[in-house]
Amino acid sequence: MLSTAEIGIDLGTANILIYSKTKGIVLNEPSVVAIDVNTKQVVAVGTEAKQMVGKTPQNIIPIRPLKDGVIADYDVTAQMLKEFLKKVSKKIGMSMRKPIVVVCTPSGSTTVERRAIHNAVTSYGAKQVHLIEEPVAAAIGSDLPVDEPVANVVVDIGGGTSEVGIISFGGVVSCNSVRTGGDKMDEEIIHHIRKKYNILIGERTAENVKMEIGYAHPNHDEETMEIRGRDMVSGLPKTVIITSTEIHYALKESLDSILETIRATLENCPPELSGDIVDHGIVLTGGGALLRGMQEWLSNELIVPVHLAPNPLESVAIGTGRALKMINKLQKAAK
Ligand code: ADP
Ligand code: MG
């Protein structure tokens, strides 16, 4: 007899990951869909669609349906999800037919949005669908002892949003979300290059700059990078050399907004749990946690220990998959 497949889905604003209990991460692709505006058909999803960003003919537009942490277009989201499930079902084989699915949704999502996700997964043939909150999944996937009565603080810096959650005894004690994450940082880099050099660069160039020479901490050994864009005066391609120091200052506003969100959450923490935070500190996860110097900078600012999760880009997916056996308990705690 075939056993039922159990899978976890991290429906992130930048990346979608699917985790299978038996095979681990089976899909990790950007949450992007390319749509033909004339026929409304999905032309490409994931990696293939992301490669089209900024390069498509007019009738084909790449969409990030979850961009700001809210589901801008749930038809598109549902179509995208189905395409990914189709890809994965081949990998996992027949047992995928009636899987039990746990989906992690952005914590700001509304009831209507959650129902849309639920329906999309159910219509794909899932036997059961459970939705869990992002901070809980992030904490489980970061190996934190979420079901113990201690404060587990997790900060998940994603593409569209950053979420801060305090979890104790299997439930969320307090949490906050801010619409600032990696995307805002990319936008700030684009804005800075336009203002200082009169050069237009694309989102992908900006993301590369952030990953290569972005620093959270102002005190670092300065690095430089050559970038190319379009000169706004001549309209022609132009190359300039930029420094990590100027990029740090370009990112400052996003960084400060994430810091303030963490601070506000810690200040709301029940006093009995505050002591735990001083001892155990907080765990950083999400792609934005990989910005250089993030750990040291936050630790200096907050005066608590800050740790990096073992696999920041995968913690939520792993936690979602692992959450299955805790689901009943978590649901009870939430009541
Ligand atoms: P989401 O959960 O919202 O889908 P992720 O956790 O997958 O987001 O993180 C995606 C974000 O992390 C993107 O903005 C990406 O640019 C950023 N990111 C990934 N790697 C790095 C890195 N090495 N340095 C800085 N930012 C990074
Ligand atoms: Mg995420």
Q: For residues 98 and 124, what is the distance between their CA atoms, to the nearest angstrom?
A: 9
Q: Which residues line ligand 1 (CB under 6 A)?
A: 12-15, 158-160, 181-183, 207, 210-211, 214, 286-288, 290-291, 313
> Ligand 1, atom 9: nearest CA belongs to which residue?
287
Q: Angle at the Cα of 76 (from 37 to 178), degrees rounded to 5? A: 120
The pLDDT profile of the chain, 335 residues, written as one tens digit per residue, is: 456 788 899 999 999 999 988 889 999 999 999 999 888 888 999 999 988 877 777 788 889 988 877 777 778 888 898 899 888 887 776 455 678 899 998 777 788 888 888 888 888 788 889 998 899 999 999 999 998 999 999 999 999 999 999 999 888 899 999 999 999 999 999 999 999 999 999 999 999 999 999 999 989 999 999 999 999 999 999 999 999 999 999 999 999 999 999 999 999 888 888 999 999 999 999 999 999 999 999 999 999 999 999 999 999 999 998 888 776 565 555 55
Count CB atoms within 10 A of the CB of residue 75.
12
- Strands of 33-36's sheet, edge to edge? 41-45, 33-36, 60-63
Q: For residues 29 and 154, what is the distance between their CA atoms, to the nearest angstrom?
A: 23
Count CB atoms within 10 A of the CB of residue 108.
16
Q: For residues 215 and 6, what is the distance between their CA atoms, to the nearest angstrom?
A: 39
Closest CA to 142 of 290, 308, 13, 278: 308
Ligand nearest to the CA of residue 64, numbered in listed order: 1
- CA 175, distance to chain mean position in Å, is 16
Residue 54 in tokens:
């900024």
The residue whose CB lies within 8 Å of the most ligand 1 atoms, and thus the one to mutate among 11, 104, 189, 210, is 210
**Rounded to whole angstroms, what are the CA distances from 114 to 23, 119, 130, 140?**
27, 9, 10, 21
Q: What is the pTM of this model?
A: 0.92
Residue 104 C-alpha to ligand 2 middle, in angstroms? Answer: 9
The residue whose CB lies within 8 Å of the most ligand 1 atoms, and thus the one to mutate among 207, 209, 294, is 207
> Ligand 1, atom 12: nearest CA belongs to which residue?
287
Residue 309 in tokens:
């999760």
Ligand nearest to the CA of residue 312, numbered in listed order: 1
Residue 159 C-alpha to ligand 1 middle, in angstroms? Answer: 5
Q: Measured on CA atoms in the order 195, 199, 203, 209, is the torsion positive or negative?
A: negative
